[in-house]
Amino acid sequence: MARSRAVYSALRAGGTEAAGKEPARTTGKARGDLAERLNFDLNEEHRATESLVREFAAREVAPHIRENDAAKVFDRAILTGLGELGILGISVPERYGGAGLDYISLGLACEELEYVDTSLRVIMSVHAGLNSFSLLAWGSEAQKDRYLRPQAEGKQIATYGLTEPDAGSDAVGIRATARRDGPDYVLTGEKHWISLAEIADNFLVIAWTDPDKRARRDHSGLSAFIVERSFPGFESGNMTHKWGIRAGNTGWFRMHDVRVPAENRLGDEGEGFKIAMFALDQGRYTVAAGATGLIRACRDESVRWARSRTTFGQEIGRHQLVKQMIANMERDYEVSRLLWLRAGELKNRGRRNTRETSLAKWVSTVASERAASDAIQIHGSYGYSDEYPVGRFWRNSKGAVIYEGTREIHTLMQADYALGYRRDRPTRVSLPAPEEH
Protein backbone atom coordinates (compact mmCIF):
# COMPACT_ATOMS: atom_id res chain seq x y z
CA MET A 1 0.00 0.00 0.00
CA ALA A 2 1.59 3.18 -1.17
CA ARG A 3 -0.31 5.71 0.90
CA SER A 4 1.58 6.78 4.00
CA ARG A 5 1.42 3.74 6.18
CA ALA A 6 1.86 5.74 9.35
CA VAL A 7 -0.79 8.32 8.48
CA TYR A 8 -3.20 5.53 7.63
CA SER A 9 -2.66 3.69 10.87
CA ALA A 10 -3.06 6.91 12.87
CA LEU A 11 -6.38 7.53 11.10
CA ARG A 12 -7.53 3.94 11.63
CA ALA A 13 -6.75 4.27 15.32
CA GLY A 14 -9.34 7.06 15.48
CA GLY A 15 -7.02 9.88 14.54
CA THR A 16 -4.58 11.57 16.83
CA GLU A 17 -5.47 12.99 20.17
CA ALA A 18 -5.41 16.37 18.53
CA ALA A 19 -7.97 15.37 15.92
CA GLY A 20 -11.15 17.47 15.92
CA LYS A 21 -14.60 15.92 16.33
CA GLU A 22 -15.91 17.38 13.08
CA PRO A 23 -13.25 17.06 10.42
CA ALA A 24 -13.60 19.94 7.96
CA ARG A 25 -12.11 18.64 4.74
CA THR A 26 -10.38 21.03 2.42
CA THR A 27 -10.03 18.44 -0.32
CA GLY A 28 -12.81 16.88 -2.35
CA LYS A 29 -14.70 18.61 -5.11
CA ALA A 30 -13.90 22.26 -5.63
CA ARG A 31 -16.01 24.58 -3.48
CA GLY A 32 -16.32 28.26 -4.05
CA ASP A 33 -18.44 29.87 -1.36
CA LEU A 34 -16.93 32.37 1.01
CA ALA A 35 -17.90 30.57 4.21
CA GLU A 36 -15.94 27.51 3.24
CA ARG A 37 -12.98 29.52 2.03
CA LEU A 38 -12.77 31.15 5.43
CA ASN A 39 -12.76 27.84 7.24
CA PHE A 40 -9.18 27.30 8.34
CA ASP A 41 -9.87 24.21 10.46
CA LEU A 42 -7.51 21.37 9.83
CA ASN A 43 -9.18 18.07 9.06
CA GLU A 44 -8.40 14.74 10.70
CA GLU A 45 -5.89 13.79 8.01
CA HIS A 46 -4.06 17.10 8.42
CA ARG A 47 -3.85 16.73 12.19
CA ALA A 48 -2.65 13.15 11.88
CA THR A 49 0.10 14.26 9.48
CA GLU A 50 1.09 17.16 11.70
CA SER A 51 1.35 14.94 14.80
CA LEU A 52 3.17 12.21 12.96
CA VAL A 53 5.86 14.51 11.56
CA ARG A 54 6.14 16.46 14.82
CA GLU A 55 6.70 13.24 16.78
CA PHE A 56 9.19 11.90 14.23
CA ALA A 57 11.27 15.08 14.22
CA ALA A 58 11.21 15.36 18.02
CA ARG A 59 12.13 11.71 18.52
CA GLU A 60 14.57 10.98 15.69
CA VAL A 61 16.18 14.33 14.91
CA ALA A 62 15.98 16.81 17.78
CA PRO A 63 18.22 14.81 20.15
CA HIS A 64 21.12 14.83 17.63
CA ILE A 65 20.65 18.05 15.71
CA ARG A 66 23.00 20.26 17.71
CA GLU A 67 25.79 17.71 17.38
CA ASN A 68 25.18 17.11 13.64
CA ASP A 69 24.99 20.84 12.95
CA ALA A 70 28.28 21.45 14.75
CA ALA A 71 30.00 18.55 12.95
CA LYS A 72 28.35 19.41 9.58
CA VAL A 73 26.99 15.88 9.32
CA PHE A 74 24.07 14.94 7.08
CA ASP A 75 22.33 11.99 8.74
CA ARG A 76 21.14 9.63 5.99
CA ALA A 77 18.97 7.74 8.48
CA ILE A 78 16.59 10.71 8.31
CA LEU A 79 15.84 9.86 4.67
CA THR A 80 15.00 6.30 5.66
CA GLY A 81 12.74 7.56 8.43
CA LEU A 82 10.96 10.07 6.19
CA GLY A 83 10.57 7.37 3.52
CA GLU A 84 9.04 4.91 5.98
CA LEU A 85 6.56 7.54 7.14
CA GLY A 86 5.53 8.18 3.53
CA ILE A 87 6.49 11.85 3.83
CA LEU A 88 8.85 11.90 0.84
CA GLY A 89 5.87 11.23 -1.44
CA ILE A 90 3.27 12.90 0.74
CA SER A 91 1.26 14.67 -1.98
CA VAL A 92 2.13 12.37 -4.86
CA PRO A 93 -0.89 10.29 -5.95
CA GLU A 94 -1.08 6.76 -4.60
CA ARG A 95 -0.93 5.32 -8.13
CA TYR A 96 2.61 6.72 -8.40
CA GLY A 97 3.73 5.37 -5.05
CA GLY A 98 2.86 8.41 -2.91
CA ALA A 99 0.63 8.97 0.10
CA GLY A 100 -1.95 10.93 -1.94
CA LEU A 101 -2.48 13.58 0.73
CA ASP A 102 -3.34 17.16 -0.17
CA TYR A 103 -0.97 20.15 -0.35
CA ILE A 104 -2.00 21.49 3.07
CA SER A 105 -0.63 18.23 4.52
CA LEU A 106 2.61 18.88 2.66
CA GLY A 107 2.79 22.39 4.15
CA LEU A 108 2.13 21.08 7.65
CA ALA A 109 4.88 18.50 7.27
CA CYS A 110 7.30 21.25 6.18
CA GLU A 111 6.31 23.48 9.10
CA GLU A 112 6.92 20.67 11.57
CA LEU A 113 10.23 19.64 10.01
CA GLU A 114 11.68 23.14 10.02
CA TYR A 115 10.50 23.64 13.58
CA VAL A 116 13.30 21.22 14.46
CA ASP A 117 15.84 22.06 11.76
CA THR A 118 15.87 23.72 8.35
CA SER A 119 17.94 20.88 6.86
CA LEU A 120 14.91 18.57 7.18
CA ARG A 121 12.58 20.88 5.32
CA VAL A 122 15.19 21.45 2.60
CA ILE A 123 14.93 17.74 1.79
CA MET A 124 11.22 18.22 1.12
CA SER A 125 11.82 21.40 -0.90
CA VAL A 126 14.17 19.83 -3.40
CA HIS A 127 13.03 16.21 -3.42
CA ALA A 128 9.27 16.85 -3.44
CA GLY A 129 8.73 20.55 -4.17
CA LEU A 130 11.19 21.19 -6.96
CA ASN A 131 11.67 17.75 -8.45
CA SER A 132 8.84 15.24 -7.85
CA PHE A 133 5.97 17.65 -8.52
CA SER A 134 7.64 18.68 -11.78
CA LEU A 135 7.69 15.02 -12.82
CA LEU A 136 4.07 14.63 -11.69
CA ALA A 137 2.90 17.58 -13.78
CA TRP A 138 5.23 17.52 -16.79
CA GLY A 139 6.45 13.92 -16.94
CA SER A 140 5.45 11.15 -19.35
CA GLU A 141 3.95 7.98 -17.89
CA ALA A 142 7.28 6.22 -18.51
CA GLN A 143 9.16 8.97 -16.60
CA LYS A 144 6.69 8.79 -13.73
CA ASP A 145 7.09 5.05 -13.54
CA ARG A 146 10.87 5.14 -13.73
CA TYR A 147 11.59 8.16 -11.50
CA LEU A 148 8.53 9.56 -9.72
CA ARG A 149 7.47 6.23 -8.22
CA PRO A 150 10.80 5.34 -6.54
CA GLN A 151 11.13 8.96 -5.40
CA ALA A 152 7.66 8.96 -3.84
CA GLU A 153 8.38 5.64 -2.18
CA GLY A 154 11.61 7.06 -0.75
CA LYS A 155 13.75 4.52 -2.63
CA GLN A 156 15.48 7.26 -4.64
CA ILE A 157 16.26 10.85 -3.67
CA ALA A 158 16.00 13.77 -6.06
CA THR A 159 17.04 17.39 -6.37
CA TYR A 160 17.09 20.35 -8.74
CA GLY A 161 19.95 21.98 -10.60
CA LEU A 162 19.41 25.47 -11.96
CA THR A 163 22.01 27.69 -10.23
CA GLU A 164 25.52 28.00 -11.66
CA PRO A 165 28.64 29.89 -10.62
CA ASP A 166 27.72 32.76 -12.97
CA ALA A 167 23.92 32.73 -12.65
CA GLY A 168 21.38 32.44 -9.85
CA SER A 169 18.55 34.98 -9.94
CA ASP A 170 19.23 35.51 -13.64
CA ALA A 171 18.31 32.00 -14.78
CA VAL A 172 18.76 32.92 -18.44
CA GLY A 173 22.42 33.59 -17.64
CA ILE A 174 23.21 29.89 -17.13
CA ARG A 175 25.79 28.25 -19.39
CA ALA A 176 25.02 24.52 -19.21
CA THR A 177 24.28 23.09 -22.64
CA ALA A 178 22.50 20.03 -23.98
CA ARG A 179 23.45 19.10 -27.54
CA ARG A 180 21.31 16.61 -29.44
CA ASP A 181 23.31 13.63 -30.70
CA GLY A 182 21.23 10.80 -32.21
CA PRO A 183 19.02 9.25 -29.52
CA ASP A 184 20.71 11.24 -26.74
CA TYR A 185 21.46 14.73 -25.53
CA VAL A 186 25.03 15.43 -24.43
CA LEU A 187 25.04 17.65 -21.32
CA THR A 188 27.96 19.82 -20.28
CA GLY A 189 28.16 22.34 -17.46
CA GLU A 190 28.46 22.99 -13.76
CA LYS A 191 25.80 23.65 -11.14
CA HIS A 192 26.57 24.89 -7.67
CA TRP A 193 24.78 25.57 -4.39
CA ILE A 194 22.71 22.44 -5.03
CA SER A 195 20.92 20.97 -2.02
CA LEU A 196 21.54 17.21 -1.64
CA ALA A 197 24.14 17.36 -4.45
CA GLU A 198 26.10 14.51 -2.89
CA ILE A 199 23.06 12.54 -1.77
CA ALA A 200 20.53 12.61 -4.60
CA ASP A 201 20.14 9.86 -7.20
CA ASN A 202 18.23 11.99 -9.74
CA PHE A 203 18.72 15.60 -10.80
CA LEU A 204 16.32 17.89 -12.64
CA VAL A 205 18.75 19.90 -14.76
CA ILE A 206 18.09 23.02 -16.81
CA ALA A 207 20.35 23.56 -19.84
CA TRP A 208 20.41 25.36 -23.20
CA THR A 209 19.35 23.30 -26.21
CA ASP A 210 19.35 26.24 -28.65
CA PRO A 211 22.65 28.19 -28.88
CA ASP A 212 21.11 30.96 -31.03
CA LYS A 213 18.40 31.61 -28.48
CA ARG A 214 21.03 31.55 -25.76
CA ALA A 215 22.89 34.35 -27.57
CA ARG A 216 19.64 36.35 -27.66
CA ARG A 217 18.79 35.49 -24.04
CA ASP A 218 15.53 33.96 -25.29
CA HIS A 219 14.48 31.54 -22.57
CA SER A 220 12.57 29.36 -25.02
CA GLY A 221 16.01 27.92 -25.86
CA LEU A 222 16.20 26.18 -22.46
CA SER A 223 15.14 22.58 -21.79
CA ALA A 224 14.83 20.36 -18.72
CA PHE A 225 16.36 16.92 -18.23
CA ILE A 226 16.31 14.11 -15.70
CA VAL A 227 19.95 13.20 -15.08
CA GLU A 228 20.94 10.18 -13.04
CA ARG A 229 24.00 10.29 -10.81
CA SER A 230 25.01 6.97 -12.35
CA PHE A 231 25.33 8.41 -15.87
CA PRO A 232 29.02 8.43 -16.97
CA GLY A 233 30.61 11.89 -16.78
CA PHE A 234 28.64 13.02 -13.74
CA GLU A 235 30.66 14.26 -10.77
CA SER A 236 29.61 15.95 -7.49
CA GLY A 237 31.15 17.45 -4.37
CA ASN A 238 30.39 19.25 -1.12
CA MET A 239 30.42 23.00 -0.38
CA THR A 240 32.36 22.75 2.82
CA HIS A 241 32.47 26.45 3.68
CA LYS A 242 28.71 26.78 4.13
CA TRP A 243 27.91 28.26 7.56
CA GLY A 244 24.16 27.64 7.76
CA ILE A 245 21.95 24.55 7.37
CA ARG A 246 25.07 22.67 8.43
CA ALA A 247 23.20 19.42 9.09
CA GLY A 248 22.12 19.52 5.46
CA ASN A 249 24.08 18.62 2.35
CA THR A 250 24.79 21.36 -0.18
CA GLY A 251 27.24 21.02 -3.02
CA TRP A 252 28.00 21.18 -6.70
CA PHE A 253 27.87 18.86 -9.66
CA ARG A 254 29.61 18.85 -13.02
CA MET A 255 28.53 17.20 -16.21
CA HIS A 256 31.35 16.25 -18.58
CA ASP A 257 29.64 15.24 -21.84
CA VAL A 258 26.98 13.28 -19.94
CA ARG A 259 24.84 11.29 -22.40
CA VAL A 260 21.18 11.61 -21.41
CA PRO A 261 18.63 9.62 -23.42
CA ALA A 262 16.11 11.85 -25.23
CA GLU A 263 13.31 10.12 -23.29
CA ASN A 264 14.75 11.81 -20.17
CA ARG A 265 13.89 15.26 -21.46
CA LEU A 266 11.08 16.62 -19.29
CA GLY A 267 8.42 18.40 -21.33
CA ASP A 268 9.05 19.59 -24.86
CA GLU A 269 12.33 21.01 -26.09
CA GLY A 270 12.26 24.72 -25.18
CA GLU A 271 10.04 24.31 -22.11
CA GLY A 272 12.93 24.26 -19.62
CA PHE A 273 12.38 27.79 -18.33
CA LYS A 274 8.66 27.18 -17.78
CA ILE A 275 9.44 23.95 -15.95
CA ALA A 276 12.09 25.68 -13.82
CA MET A 277 9.57 28.37 -12.82
CA PHE A 278 6.81 25.81 -12.26
CA ALA A 279 9.17 23.90 -9.96
CA LEU A 280 9.83 27.10 -7.99
CA ASP A 281 6.09 27.60 -7.43
CA GLN A 282 6.07 24.30 -5.55
CA GLY A 283 9.49 24.66 -3.90
CA ARG A 284 8.70 28.15 -2.61
CA TYR A 285 5.53 26.84 -1.02
CA THR A 286 7.53 24.33 1.04
CA VAL A 287 10.01 27.09 1.96
CA ALA A 288 7.16 29.37 3.11
CA ALA A 289 5.58 26.71 5.30
CA GLY A 290 9.00 25.76 6.68
CA ALA A 291 9.96 29.35 7.51
CA THR A 292 6.65 29.60 9.39
CA GLY A 293 7.75 26.65 11.52
CA LEU A 294 11.06 28.39 12.15
CA ILE A 295 9.27 31.52 13.39
CA ARG A 296 7.27 29.31 15.77
CA ALA A 297 10.47 27.68 17.01
CA CYS A 298 11.97 31.15 17.66
CA ARG A 299 8.83 32.21 19.51
CA ASP A 300 8.75 29.07 21.67
CA GLU A 301 12.44 29.28 22.61
CA SER A 302 12.07 33.00 23.33
CA VAL A 303 8.99 32.51 25.53
CA ARG A 304 10.75 29.73 27.43
CA TRP A 305 13.75 31.95 28.09
CA ALA A 306 11.69 35.07 28.84
CA ARG A 307 9.76 33.15 31.50
CA SER A 308 12.88 31.81 33.22
CA ARG A 309 15.45 34.63 33.03
CA THR A 310 15.07 37.48 35.51
CA THR A 311 16.56 40.97 35.52
CA PHE A 312 15.76 43.87 37.81
CA GLY A 313 13.69 41.57 40.01
CA GLN A 314 11.30 40.21 37.38
CA GLU A 315 11.06 37.81 34.45
CA ILE A 316 12.42 39.53 31.34
CA GLY A 317 9.07 38.73 29.67
CA ARG A 318 7.61 41.46 31.88
CA HIS A 319 9.73 44.14 30.22
CA GLN A 320 7.85 45.93 27.45
CA LEU A 321 10.70 45.83 24.94
CA VAL A 322 10.98 42.07 25.29
CA LYS A 323 7.21 41.77 24.93
CA GLN A 324 7.51 43.71 21.66
CA MET A 325 9.88 41.13 20.19
CA ILE A 326 7.66 38.23 21.31
CA ALA A 327 4.58 40.01 19.93
CA ASN A 328 6.31 40.46 16.58
CA MET A 329 7.05 36.73 16.45
CA GLU A 330 3.45 35.92 17.30
CA ARG A 331 2.18 38.28 14.58
CA ASP A 332 4.64 36.98 12.01
CA TYR A 333 3.83 33.37 12.78
CA GLU A 334 0.09 33.89 12.31
CA VAL A 335 0.47 36.03 9.18
CA SER A 336 2.93 33.61 7.58
CA ARG A 337 0.74 30.64 8.37
CA LEU A 338 -2.31 32.23 6.80
CA LEU A 339 -0.33 33.09 3.69
CA TRP A 340 1.01 29.59 3.09
CA LEU A 341 -2.37 28.06 3.91
CA ARG A 342 -3.95 30.28 1.25
CA ALA A 343 -1.35 29.21 -1.29
CA GLY A 344 -1.92 25.56 -0.32
CA GLU A 345 -5.67 25.92 -0.66
CA LEU A 346 -5.20 27.34 -4.17
CA LYS A 347 -3.00 24.36 -5.01
CA ASN A 348 -5.69 22.04 -3.67
CA ARG A 349 -8.17 23.70 -6.02
CA GLY A 350 -5.79 23.41 -8.97
CA ARG A 351 -5.62 27.20 -9.31
CA ARG A 352 -2.60 29.23 -10.40
CA ASN A 353 -0.82 30.53 -7.28
CA THR A 354 2.53 31.97 -8.40
CA ARG A 355 1.64 35.39 -6.93
CA GLU A 356 0.31 34.07 -3.62
CA THR A 357 3.16 31.58 -3.20
CA SER A 358 5.75 34.29 -3.86
CA LEU A 359 4.11 36.53 -1.24
CA ALA A 360 4.02 33.70 1.31
CA LYS A 361 7.68 32.83 0.68
CA TRP A 362 8.83 36.45 0.81
CA VAL A 363 6.93 37.43 3.96
CA SER A 364 7.69 34.27 5.94
CA THR A 365 11.40 34.04 5.16
CA VAL A 366 12.10 37.71 5.90
CA ALA A 367 10.07 37.36 9.11
CA SER A 368 11.95 34.21 10.11
CA GLU A 369 15.27 36.03 9.82
CA ARG A 370 13.90 38.83 12.04
CA ALA A 371 12.44 36.32 14.52
CA ALA A 372 15.73 34.44 14.77
CA SER A 373 17.71 37.63 15.28
CA ASP A 374 15.30 38.74 18.04
CA ALA A 375 15.40 35.29 19.63
CA ILE A 376 19.16 35.74 20.02
CA GLN A 377 18.59 39.20 21.45
CA ILE A 378 16.15 37.87 24.03
CA HIS A 379 18.68 35.24 25.08
CA GLY A 380 21.37 37.89 25.55
CA SER A 381 24.88 36.49 25.58
CA TYR A 382 23.53 32.93 25.91
CA GLY A 383 22.00 33.36 22.47
CA TYR A 384 25.37 34.27 21.02
CA SER A 385 26.67 30.70 21.20
CA ASP A 386 25.70 27.22 20.10
CA GLU A 387 24.68 26.35 23.65
CA TYR A 388 21.09 27.32 22.73
CA PRO A 389 19.43 26.64 19.36
CA VAL A 390 18.62 30.26 18.47
CA GLY A 391 22.03 30.90 16.89
CA ARG A 392 21.45 27.89 14.61
CA PHE A 393 17.99 29.24 13.80
CA TRP A 394 19.51 32.54 12.71
CA ARG A 395 22.21 30.92 10.54
CA ASN A 396 19.58 28.67 8.98
CA SER A 397 17.07 31.47 8.41
CA LYS A 398 19.38 33.46 6.13
CA GLY A 399 19.56 30.81 3.40
CA ALA A 400 15.84 30.97 2.69
CA VAL A 401 16.05 34.73 2.19
CA ILE A 402 18.43 33.91 -0.69
CA TYR A 403 17.31 30.66 -2.35
CA GLU A 404 14.17 30.06 -4.40
CA GLY A 405 14.03 33.73 -5.30
CA THR A 406 15.93 36.24 -3.19
CA ARG A 407 14.13 38.77 -1.02
CA GLU A 408 14.75 41.35 -3.75
CA ILE A 409 13.35 39.17 -6.55
CA HIS A 410 10.12 38.58 -4.58
CA THR A 411 9.91 42.28 -3.75
CA LEU A 412 10.09 43.07 -7.47
CA MET A 413 7.53 40.39 -8.31
CA GLN A 414 5.03 41.72 -5.77
CA ALA A 415 5.51 45.30 -6.94
CA ASP A 416 5.10 44.25 -10.56
CA TYR A 417 1.88 42.37 -9.81
CA ALA A 418 0.50 45.39 -7.96
CA LEU A 419 1.58 47.79 -10.70
CA GLY A 420 0.12 45.61 -13.43
CA TYR A 421 3.52 45.05 -15.07
CA ARG A 422 3.34 41.33 -14.40
CA ARG A 423 0.47 38.96 -15.16
CA ASP A 424 0.52 35.19 -15.03
CA ARG A 425 -0.41 33.68 -18.34
CA PRO A 426 -2.02 30.23 -18.61
CA THR A 427 0.52 27.41 -18.79
CA ARG A 428 0.30 24.21 -20.85
CA VAL A 429 0.65 22.17 -17.68
CA SER A 430 -0.41 22.80 -14.08
CA LEU A 431 -0.04 20.99 -10.77
CA PRO A 432 -2.85 18.43 -10.47
CA ALA A 433 -5.29 19.20 -7.66
CA PRO A 434 -5.51 16.35 -5.12
CA GLU A 435 -8.97 15.33 -6.27
CA GLU A 436 -7.49 14.73 -9.74
CA HIS A 437 -4.88 12.37 -8.31
Minimum CB–partner distance for residue 406 and ligand FAD (Å): 3
User: Count of alpha carbons within 13 Å of 246, Cβ hemisphere only?
Assistant: 21
List for the chain the helix, strand, coil content (%; round to 5). 55, 15, 30
Minimum CB–partner distance for residue 53 and ligand FAD (Å): 21
Contact 171, 162 (CB under 8 A): yes
Minimum CB–partner distance for residue 160 and ligand FAD (Å): 5
Amino acid at 337: R
Dump strand ranges (E) for 262-377: 265-266, 310-311, 314-315
Task: Please name the residues in contact with 40: beta carbons below 8 A apart, sequence gap of 6 or more.
Answer: 338, 341
Is residue 404 flagged as an active site residue?
A: yes
Q: Could you tell me which residues are beta bridge partners of residue 249?
A: none
C-alpha torsion angle, residues 36, 39, 44, 45 (rounded to 10): 70
Contact 158, 194 (CB under 8 A): no
Minimum CB–partner distance for residue 262 and ligand FAD (Å): 23
Minimum CB–partner distance for residue 169 and ligand FAD (Å): 3
Taking the least distance from each CB to ligand FAD, the nearer of 163 and 286 is 163
Taking the least distance from each CB to ligand FAD, the nearer of 393 and 403 is 403
Q: Which residue is nearest to ligand FAD (CB)?
A: 168
Contact 302, 329 (CB under 8 A): yes
Taking the least distance from each CB to ligand FAD, the nearer of 193 and 208 is 193
Task: Please name the residues in contact with 203: beta carbons below 8 A apart, sequence gap of 6 or more.
Answer: 158, 159, 160, 161, 194, 226, 227, 228, 229, 253
Taking the least distance from each CB to ligand FAD, the nearer of 356 and 404 is 404
- Positions touching ligand FAD (CB under 6 A) are 126, 159-163, 168-170, 193-195, 245, 250, 399, 402-404, 406, 408-409, 412
Minimum CB–partner distance for residue 229 and ligand FAD (Å): 15
Contact 370, 51 (CB under 8 A): no
Rounded to the nearest 10 degrees, what angle do helices 5-12 and 44-56 cross at?
120
Phi, psi of 245 (to 5 degrees): 45, 50
Q: In whole angstroms, what is the distance from residue 14 CA to residue 11 CA?
A: 5
Taking the least distance from each CB to ligand FAD, the nearer of 52 and 106 is 106
Minimum CB–partner distance for residue 285 and ligand FAD (Å): 15
Phi, psi of 191 (to 5 degrees): -120, 140
Catalytic entry in 60, 164, 404, 408: 404
Answer positive or negative: Cα dihedral of 104, 109, 115, 120: negative
Taking the least distance from each CB to ligand FAD, the nearer of 160 and 278 is 160
DSSP-assigned letter for residue 167: B
H or E element in which residue 186 lies: strand 184-195
C-alpha torsion angle, residues 66, 280, 134, 227 (rounded to 10): -70
Minimum CB–partner distance for residue 195 and ligand FAD (Å): 4
Count of Cβ atoms closer than 10 Å to residue 329 Cβ: 27
Q: Which residues are identified as catalytic?
A: 404
